[in-house]
Structure 1
Amino acid sequence: MDELLKDVNAWTPLAIAWGSNLLAATIILIVGWWVSAAVGRAVGKAASRSPRIDPTIVPMVRSVAVWAIRIFTLIAVLARFGVQTASLIAVLGAAGLAIGLALQGTLQNISAGIMLLALRPLRAGEYIAIGSSQEGTVQEVGLFLTRLTQADGINISLPNSTVWNATIINYSRHVRRRLDVASVVRYGDDIDLAINTLKALVAKHPLVLQDPAPAVLVTEYRDNGVVVVARVWAEASKHWELTCSLRYEVRKALESAGMRAPVPVRGVEDEEVSSGAAKAPAQSGDLTS
């Protein structure tokens, strides 16, 4: 019994120390995780309230802030148990170097995301095309992925390195976009009437901007007629709506003005008739002689 009491007395301070360290570590872990989540929410709210903050950078900044706090929290937890954090940081640095060499593609995505946020060739809410493969509205540029939403509602996630290395076509960066609507006026129809009809149409269309002034130009000759282009400017957000509207109204206005459908015209000549016509002068000459 005396030996048991001695063992209990010997282990009691150690158990109390470990228990207090475990309790403190648990509290630090819970508080650190809660603070990181609170900081993440605060960053999101600050971005939504301030018009000066570009929403494109919010996801990456939020992720960096959250995980920085969590890493410091884990280091503080390990320090409560007597782990030498200095040596731990050195080991983590060496491990990070090895992992970085093994995950070069992932690090390329991170660096590409930083360059996308720094140079800003795209922003959240803008409609872009990545080369000739993908296009959609930018939702966010994260640490590893850029997320787009297509016009049909399909979500696309692209690695940041793919976006950075591709040609980025931004359709929404400028507030105005030019639109060319081509129509064909058949040979024999009044070309001046067609031009004046289209000028009157674009002058009164509510979606067509009058500055820069719209223009109607003859640009090409084809087998089925003369190509007349209505060149107008519209707000970037109204570009597709105006495109569909003009493609319908241009053809309707030309038909109302008496323009015929621009179908291809081909001359067909019968071989027997043409050969008979060629021989006719000679035969008539024989008769007169």
Structure 2
Amino acid sequence: MSDLQSHFSAASLAVVQKQLWSWGLHVLAALLILIVGFWVARRIGRFAARALERVHHDLTVARFLESIIKIGLYLVVLIAALGQLGVQTTSLLAMLGAAGLAVGLALQKSLADFAAGVLLLIIRPYKVDDFVEVAGVSGTVERVHLFQTRLRSADNRLLAVPNGKVISGVITNYSVLEQRRIDLVFSIALDADLRRTLELVTALLQKEERVLTDPALSVGVLELTDTGVQIFARPWVQASDFWATRCTLLENIRIALDEQEIRLASRQSLAISSIDQHPHAG
């Protein structure tokens, strides 16, 4: 009987040793996967960040992309290591997927803003200090976060606009181009001297030093109405000079019309067209 017990004890010990050896190999393989996988993930993340930095010259975007890539690769490496240890990764992925779906449904709007923030950081429709109009509001860009864009309005209010609303609408950037056109529209009386009015306005625009010669300015008749003749004046200026030049031209044109006794049409006034109603855009 003792010989039989010794035989079974030796066999059991051999099985345990074999299992420990096998388990040790799996643990070693899992550790190797983690070490090598994390090293490769960091290298790939840094390579992608440097490549994006060369293209966009933006350290914030590059670092954000590096973090996203590394986190994604870390998860892949971790799942591979757990699979090497015998963990049922299929069930684990299913649980993670279900949890992710639940969190996604609960944070649907926030995730949409997050995704929009990623797109804004990549496509770069505006940058800090640009004057923009987004989601029905306008202001100077103070900072672009992952979930919202912060603007400083013309009357010094801080506006936080969700990135989801920004990306889903029209983005107007008044600062990205160097030149802007001023659109002035006013009406003179039907009996006013049209030719003299056009010559007068043209001379005033040409006299203004901030008005560019290329592109060339244009002055002409926009429309004939029952109450008067609509005149347009469209000079081009540097974007930084837009509002100062606009104000000066409005004042000078009105004064010149009064001096020449050229009457404005009834119930009409000298005004800028409705497409440019955003103070401090330049």
Shorter chain as normaliser: what TM range? 0.5 to 0.7
Question: Which of these residues, 207, 210, 232, is aligned with residue 207 of structure 1?
Answer: 210
Maintained 8 Å contact 1:144/1:160: yes
Alignment match, 2:109? 105
**RMSD over equivalenced CA pairs, Å:** 3.4
**Distance in 1 between residues matched to 2:168 and 2:267, nearest whole Å:** 44
What TM-score do you get using the length of structure 2 for normalisation?
A: 0.60
- 1:265-276 maps to which residues of 2 (within 5 A)? none
Question: Which of these residues, 57, 60, 64, is aligned with residue 58 of structure 1?
Answer: 60
Cα separation, partners in 2 of 1:158 and 1:121, compared to 1, 3 Å: same
Residue 175 of structure 2 is aligned to residue 172 of structure 1:
yes
Deviations 1:85-128 (A, max 9, x none): x99xx799575564334212222111111111112222222111
**Distance in 1 between residues matched to 2:62 and 2:227, nearest whole Å:** 56
What TM-score do you get using the length of structure 1 for normalisation?
A: 0.59
- 1:144-159 maps to which residues of 2 (within 5 A)? 144-159=147-162
Residue 241 of structure 2 is aligned to residue 238 of structure 1:
yes
How far 1:63 sits from its partner (Å)? 11
- 1:27-106 maps to which residues of 2 (within 5 A)? 53-54=57-58, 58=60, 61=63, 98-106=102-110
| Contiguous gaps of at least 5 residues in structure 1 | 1-46, 73-85, 266-289
Cα separation, partners in 2 of 1:101 and 1:224, compared to 1, 3 Å: closer
Maintained 8 Å contact 1:59/1:141: no
**Distance in 2 between residues matched to 1:219 and 1:63, nearest whole Å:** 51
Alignment match, 1:117? 121
Deviations 1:228-284 (A, max 9, x none): 11111111122122222211111111122221242269xxxxxxxxxxxxxxxxxxx
**Distance in 1 between residues matched to 2:158 and 2:176, nearest whole Å:** 21
**Distance in 1 between residues matched to 2:62 and 2:128, nearest whole Å:** 13
Maintained 8 Å contact 2:184/2:232: yes
Cα separation, partners in 2 of 1:208 and 1:237, compared to 1, 3 Å: same
How far 1:165 sits from its partner (Å)? 1.0
Amino acid at match of 1:138: V
Cα separation, partners in 2 of 1:117 and 1:63, compared to 1, 3 Å: closer
Question: Which of these residues, 212, 216, 220, is aligned with residue 219 of structure 2?
Answer: 216
**Distance in 2 between residues matched to 1:101 and 1:228, nearest whole Å:** 56
Alignment match, 2:275? none
* 198-207 vs 183-192, which moves further: 183-192
Maintained 8 Å contact 1:177/1:234: yes
Maintained 8 Å contact 2:61/2:122: no
How far 1:58 sits from its partner (Å)? 3.0
Cα separation, partners in 2 of 1:242 and 1:126, compared to 1, 3 Å: same
How far 1:223 sits from its partner (Å)? 2.9
**Distance in 2 between residues matched to 1:97 and 1:263, nearest whole Å:** 64
Percent identity, aligned pairs only, is: 34
Return the index of the structure with the highest Cα Rg.
Answer: 1
Alignment match, 1:127? 131
**Distance in 1 between residues matched to 2:184 and 2:121, nearest whole Å:** 36
Alignment match, 1:227? 230
| Contiguous gaps of at least 5 residues in structure 2 | 1-52, 75-86, 269-282
Cα separation, partners in 2 of 1:260 and 1:97, compared to 1, 3 Å: closer
Maintained 8 Å contact 1:126/1:137: yes
**Distance in 2 between residues matched to 1:60 and 1:53, nearest whole Å:** 8
Deviations 1:141-165 (A, max 9, x none): 1111111111111011111111111
